[in-house]
Homo-oligomer: A and B are copies of this chain.
Amino acid sequence: MRELRKQRGRPRKGGEDYDVVRERLVRAGVAALTEYGFVSTGLDQVVRAAGVPKGSFYTFFSSKEEFGLELIERYGVYFARRLDRFLLDETLSPLGRLRAFMQDSFANVTRFDYQRGCLVGNLGQEMSALPESFRQRLIDVFTDWQGRVEACLLSAQEAGEIASEIDCARKAELFWIGWEGAILRAKLERRVHPLEAYSEDFFKSLKLRHG
């Protein structure tokens, strides 16, 4: 991420638009990182997309590193809420919830013309070039998402939808490993097929053996 020089006239922190502008920066940042990752994204590009004067960035964030850390945090929370919308939907069976999440993701990836992937996956891939402080945050986000999928799989197991010998914690971990790989391939190939193939295989691997 390219640096922006600090400017002198700092906008007042107590100003009524402070939170609104800060939020615009965060949203623009998340969108850019989801598409391009951290290294390719310039701060100037983010402030332009947010419609914020170039010089005021440092009123809101002390550094691009701090900004990046907040974007990871915010994306993690946003995505956890998105997951919950599906995984806690009691009108569906536990496996049906996971399936609904996946299908919504297929639609999303297509809607953004295969440009946007997963912010956490993008940054994970770039880790060698990122501030070391990002590492644990990215791992924490995966751990959080994993816990939500694990809970869903445990419910599925309780409901007799998946084999009882399945280690749900391990399966949830594997789910995210493969999912990130599938997002990568879908973006590369500009088609939803890798995600569909992966999902089908994942569900097959949960099947009752002698059911």
* Chain A interfacial positions (CB closer than 8 Å to B): 35-37, 39-40, 115, 117, 121-122, 124-129, 135, 138-139, 142, 170, 173-174, 176-182, 184-185, 187-190, 194, 197-198, 201, 204-205, 209
CA distance A181 to B125 in the complex (A): 9
- Min distance, Cβ A192 to any Cβ of chain B, angstroms: 13
Q: Interface centre among A36, A124, A177, A189, by most B CB within 10 Å? A: A177
Nearest-neighbour CB distance to chain B for A16, whole angstroms, equals 36
B125 contacts A37, C-beta separation under 8 Å: yes
* Copies of this chain, count: 2
A121 — which chain B residues lie within 8 A by C-beta?
Answer: 125, 184
A189 to B140 CA separation, bound complex (whole angstroms): 10
Q: How far apart are the CA atoms of A170 and B129 in the complex, in Å?
A: 34
- B188 pairs with A177, CB closer than 8 A: no
When chains A and B are docked, how far (Å) is the Cα of A100 from the Cα of B136? Answer: 31
| A204 surroundings in chain B (CB, below 8 A) | 205
**In the complex the two chains form, what is the Cα distance from A37 to B130 in whole Å?**
12
Report whether B122 and A188 are in contact in the complex, using a CB–CB cutoff of 8 Å: no
